[in-house]
Amino acid sequence: MSEQPPKQVAPAPFSPEDMARRRRRSVALALVLGGLVIFFFVVTLVKTGPAILNRPL
């Protein structure tokens, strides 16, 4: 039972096209997440309405 562990092969380096695709995907995800943050912020302000200004400090 002298089983050898599987050899680990180094992954192939990314091509410039792969890196450009990865960057575009990262930018798109950042824009979507930023948009969701702004959307939730606006929805929260709209739901609270003008009553947000009438709170004790």
The pLDDT tens digits for 9-32 are 888 889 999 999 999 999 999 999
Confidence of residue 3 (pLDDT cuts 50, 70, 90): confident
What is the C-alpha to C-alpha distance for residues 18 and 24, in angstroms, rounded to an integer? 10
Query: Tokens for 41?
Result: 């912020």
Closest CA to 24 of 49, 53, 16: 16
| DSSP-assigned letter for residue 49 | G
What is the C-alpha to C-alpha distance for residues 41 and 32, in angstroms, rounded to an integer? 14
Alpha helices in the chain (DSSP H): 16-48
Instruction: Say whether 50 sits in a helix, a strand or coil.
Output: helix
